Amino acid sequence: MTSLFGFPQHSSLDNRRRTGAIPARQGSPLSVLFILVAVVVALTAPCASRADDLPAASIVAVMQTISPYPAGPVLDGPGTLTDTLINPGYAGGTSTATTYASYAGGTGTITGNGTTSGGANVPGINPMVELSFSFEVVGPQSGVEVPIIVTGSGSTSVSGKGFANDSMVVGGGVFNSSGNLEACSEAGLAACTNPASFSGTIDADVYSNDTTDTVEMSANAEGYETSTWSFSDDPSVEIDPSFTNPDDEYSIIFSADDAAPPPGTTAPEPGSLAMVGIGLVALVGLKLKKFGARAET
């Protein structure tokens, strides 16, 4: 039945449906499909943001000076520290140290160098740097023994009179670990028991979806009289390429907090993106449902 203007008029059946006497039909199959997509996205969102559950990377750099000189600056986070001291005594002297530490997405580095000059009365300065970040092996099954390899390179050097130490270790829930990597250098002091540099691996096993493990690096150095020194440390973590599991795929997630993100490059986290997607899908589903209801009238 149509009106004078050609628009369809509602029948008594339509009136009863609108008043609830006869329930309207549900949304179209397309809207149901969108709802299913939203459910899938919601289920995958926790997996995508699991790295957020790991502890953030920790970087601590300290310029420690010898009394009576005041302590140098302390930095908790990435960056560069420079501390220069001039001995007010009769002999004069200068001690300079520069350290750098950074972490981003499973890649961490620490470096340092320094010089002393001015003879036996030169003021001492002992820079210390510590960097640690966490990782976890994730996969479809929990409790699977997955072998990992931590590859590291480090170096120390000293000329004149002084020392430099450098070490790398993996800890946490690892087992069957092959130990740690260490290096040291000295000149005019007690002999070191480690080589001046290292380039090797630490093999260990971890349980998937079960434990949080860490890679820790630390270095310190000091020069006396006239000397130069330096240290560096650079690790990487991977699943042993020889590990094969034909039914499952495993990967490594790292501390999500980049201690040194480049300026202006912040991006939404995977979990946030998933929530945005759910909202968009829900809006589209509501629109389709309303459209289906209008088509029935």
pLDDT digits (tens, 9 = 90+) for 126-171: 899 999 999 999 999 999 999 999 999 999 999 999 999 999 999 9
Regarding whether 42 and 66 lie in a shared domain, the answer is no
Over range 270-283, report the average pLDDT: 48
Supply the pLDDT for residue 259. 46
* Res. 209 pLDDT band, cuts 50 70 90: very high
Burial bucket for residue 183 (CB in 10 Å: 0-12, 13-18, 19+): buried
User: Does residue 260 fall inside a structural domain?
Assistant: no
pLDDT higher for 50 or 268? 50
Regarding whether 285 and 186 lie in a shared domain, the answer is no
User: Does residue 20 fall inside a structural domain?
Assistant: no
Regarding whether 283 and 144 lie in a shared domain, the answer is no
* Res. 276 pLDDT band, cuts 50 70 90: very low
* Res. 98 pLDDT band, cuts 50 70 90: very high
Q: Above 90 in pLDDT, residue 205?
A: yes
Regarding whether 68 and 160 lie in a shared domain, the answer is yes
User: Does residue 10 fall inside a structural domain?
Assistant: no
Regarding whether 69 and 168 lie in a shared domain, the answer is yes
Regarding whether 279 and 239 lie in a shared domain, the answer is no
C-alpha span between 13 and 212 (Å, rounded): 64
Regarding whether 283 and 223 lie in a shared domain, the answer is no
Residue identified by tokens 């589903």 is 285
Supply the pLDDT for residue 83. 80
User: Does residue 170 fall inside a structural domain?
Assistant: yes
User: Does residue 263 fall inside a structural domain?
Assistant: no
Lowest mean pLDDT among 6-10, 242-246, 282-286: 6-10
Regarding whether 107 and 74 lie in a shared domain, the answer is yes
User: Does residue 186 fall inside a structural domain?
Assistant: yes
Q: List the beta bridge partners of residue 96.
A: 84, 115
**Number of domains the chain contains:** 2
C-alpha span between 267 and 50 (Å, rounded): 16
Domain assignment of residue 142, given as a range: 53-254
C-alpha span between 226 and 94 (Å, rounded): 9
What global pTM score does this model have?
Answer: 0.68
* Res. 35 pLDDT band, cuts 50 70 90: very low
User: Does residue 287 fall inside a structural domain?
Assistant: yes
Report the amino acid identity of residue 277: G
C-alpha span between 184 and 156 (Å, rounded): 6
User: Does residue 4 fall inside a structural domain?
Assistant: no
Q: Could you tell me what percentage of the chain is helix, strand and coil, using 3-state DSSP and rounding each to the nearest 5?
A: 20, 45, 35
Regarding whether 276 and 190 lie in a shared domain, the answer is no
The pair of three-digit structure tokens given for residue 74, joined into one six-digit string: 């302390």
C-alpha span between 22 and 13 (Å, rounded): 8
